[in-house]
Amino acid sequence: MTDSQSLASTPCRLLVVDDDRRQASHLAQWLCGLGHHASAAGTAAEAVQALARAACDVIILDGAMADARHVAAAAGVNAGLVVLLPASHRATLVGDATVAAPVRDADLLAAIDRARAAAAARAAGGSVAPAVLGSHPAIRRVLDIAGRIAATPATVLVTGESGTGKSLLAREIHRASGRAGRFVEVACGALSETLLESELFGHVAGAFTGATTDREGRFLQADGGTIFLDEIATATPAMQVKLLRVLQDMEFEPVGGSRTHAVDARVILATHESLERLVADGRFRADLYWRINVVTVEMPPLRSRPSDVPQLATHFLRAAAAKAGRVVEGFTPAALDAIVSHDWPGNVRELEHAVERAAFLGRGALVDATDLPPTVLGRGPRVGDAAVGCEAPLKAAMAVPERQMILEALERSGWRRDAAARALGINRTTLYKKAKRLGMNLADLAPGR
């Protein structure tokens, strides 16, 4: 381990579980040196016995060891779970926090804190607010900048591709700022100029047709807090003029009104477009650009930090499983390999939706590759692909769940084809035809396959 540093949080009871007993003991001793009460176990059985003897705040578990799920099950919801992910990314266990090899001290300590917070939230019957996750140097630089400017009044411009988590970073900056007011988010691209002006600044009764009462704007709602203007590049030239004045003086009038309101609001803006290019093309005001370009933070695309993908996937899986009301312990090696290999053009948002789909559609305790979207498996069309040739990938994608349903029906019926056909609501002849079309030889399938 490297970059040793003291842990700011209060001491706690930790159990380190690793089939490399020497490594487990070494890590436990290091944690004891930081003021914690840490012990080590070399097998799942030893860990289960240790948990039966005494309560534990956090378990640090080698995610690739045999029977790792038994340890997590014994801990239940009372202890936080940190999963150490080996370099091969073969771990299949979902934890409160994941640390990928090579393990850095700072990453492990941060993971312990996240796991403790998750366990505390479960005990209180609540949930842990989402945070910007990852330990890749690219995301660590982003979080370092965010931490340094959070308590300042500086305007922040967050750039990056769609789905990289710009809104999440804005919320994290607000959380760390200590500002007592609200976090108010406005999707600028979703509103016309007239509606956006009313949304931001409010309006008085009679300002336009349908304005029957006074309405408070979002800037006023963000007084004392933070206002986040997403997709600022979509603002019209007229709206850019109005925004420039507000950002300079923090004063505005509601639509149709004459009273000037002054607010104290931290402003964070975001865009996936290049504002510099828009300025050069005359589509964005240069003076507004220089006004908002005080501190710029670029969210890295997910493909540039692949080591964070397993951690994000396990985080999303835990949340999706809770929504689905299912017990999902993790990913099969094939599923995790597919997730790590995909380049994620939709970034973190695409990953979250892919994992949610798998949790909602899957049937087993582990998410399998067949539960993932065809695009993640490399079988479906990408965004922007031509429509020509899409029929074959779609047909192949549809075959995956159909083949899986037939196999599951055969397994449940003891590999009796007539019973499997009845369970599927078809006759035996149709079952044979479907199997032939799917490339399945029912005569070769056996219970021990």
Per-residue pLDDT of the chain (449 residues; tens, 9 = 90+): 433 343 445 788 899 999 888 999 999 999 988 888 999 999 888 888 888 777 788 999 988 787 777 777 677 667 888 888 776 555 556 677 878 777 888 888 888 888 888 887 776 655 444 468 887 888 989 988 998 999 899 999 999 999 999 999 999 899 888 888 889 999 888 888 888 888 899 888 877 777 778 788 899 989 999 999 999 999 999 999 999 999 998 998 888 888 888 999 999 999 999 999 999 999 999 999 999 999 999 999 999 998 888 888 888 888 888 777 777 888 888 888 889 889 999 999 999 999 999 988 888 888 888 899 988 887 555 444 443 334 444 455 555 567 767 877 777 777 788 888 888 878 877 887 777 776 666 665 544 44
What's the burial of 447, exposed, middle or buried (CB within 10 Å: 0-12/13-18/19+)? exposed
The arrangement of strands across the sheet holding 58-62 comes to 37-41, 13-17, 58-62, 80-85, 97-100
- In the structure encoding, which two tokens stand for residue 348, read together? 């973190």
Cα–Cα distance, 96 to 127 (Å, whole number): 12
Backbone phi, psi, residue 45, to 5°: -65, -45
In this prediction, residue 384 carries a pLDDT of: 44
Query: Is the link from the previous residue into 333 a cis peptide, with omega within 30 of 0?
Result: no
Residue keyed to tokens 């019973």: 419
User: 203 - beta bridge partners?
Assistant: 215, 255
Both structure tokens of 352 = 């979250």
- The four Cα atoms 90, 64, 354, 439 give a dihedral, to 10 degrees, of 60
Closest CA to 409 of 395, 399, 419, 398: 419
Integer Cα distance of 270 and 250 in angstroms: 19
Q: What is the pLDDT of residue 205?
A: 82
Smallest CA-to-CA distance from 305 within 161, 150, 146, 153 is with 161
367 φ, ψ to 5°? -70, 125
CA distance 109 to 104: 9
Domain architecture of the chain: domains with CATH: 1-127 (3.40.50.2300), 138-298 (3.40.50.300), 379-437 (1.10.10)
Report pLDDT for 118.
80
CA distance 377 to 358: 12
- How far is it, in rounded angstroms, from Cα 49 to Cα 17? 12
Whole-structure pTM value: 0.62
Closest CA to 31 of 3, 55, 49, 5: 5
Measured in Å, how far apart are the chain's first and last C-alpha atoms? 43
Rounded Cα distance, 90 and 375, in Å: 21
What is the spatial distance between Cα 430 and Cα 424, in angstroms, rounded to a whole number? 10
Give the Å distances, CA to CA, from 6 to 33, 194, 255, 375: 9, 53, 54, 44
